[in-house]
Amino acid sequence: MANITRWEPFHEVVSLRDAMDRLFDESFLKPFGDSSSFGHLWPSVDLTETGNEIIAKVSLPGMKPEDVKISLTGNVLNISGEYSSESETKEKGVTYHLREHRYGAFSRSITLPTAVQGDKIKAEYENGLVTLTLPKAEEARPKTVNIKVKK
């Protein structure tokens, strides 16, 4: 006697979608894995834009401002630095069971959406968060055009 199974046409489509989601997650969003030593070396950045400026908020917990280098080349913002390693405990009988703090050099380059005035950039540091205020170049700012009425 033959088994009869119900055909679900969307089951294969959902399986394909799940496989594609996993592929993109592993390849682009987490290229070094989800908790590997390289995956978290890039600082997190929020980049927002208003009419007159671009604001970048860079998360650098545990970093000192003097250990961070920020530069602008054209419209590319470069952020680099190094998390220095605390001296490892060499005491007899001490064993690490978990070590997730990041150590080592990092570098991040972000292409800005528009031209900025490099000589007027402001950087402020508070509680591990660097806030960069990048004024837009005059030609990149929105312009208002007044309409004259002919008489």
Q: What is the CATH number of the domain that holds 122?
A: 2.60.40.790
45 and 15, same structural domain?
A: no
82 and 23, same structural domain?
A: no
What the block records as the tokens of 65 is 């401002």
- CB distance 77 to 96 below 8 Å: no
124 and 70, same structural domain?
A: yes
Model confidence over 103-144: pLDDT tens digits?
Answer: 788 889 999 999 999 999 999 999 999 999 999 998 877 788
31 and 47, same structural domain?
A: no
d(CA 41, CA 24): 20
136 and 106, same structural domain?
A: yes
d(CA 20, CA 87): 43
Cα atoms in the 13 Å half-sphere on the side-chain side of 34? 4
- CB distance 132 to 67 below 8 Å: no
Model confidence over 80-108: pLDDT tens digits?
Answer: 998 876 655 556 677 778 877 777 888 89
Amino acid identity of residue 87, one-letter, is: S
Total domains in the chain come to 2
Residue 66 has pLDDT above 70, yes or no: yes
Give pLDDT, residue 89: 54
CA end-to-end span of the chain, whole Å?
93
pTM above 0.85, yes or no: no
Give pLDDT, residue 37: 44
Between 27 and 71, the higher pLDDT residue: 71
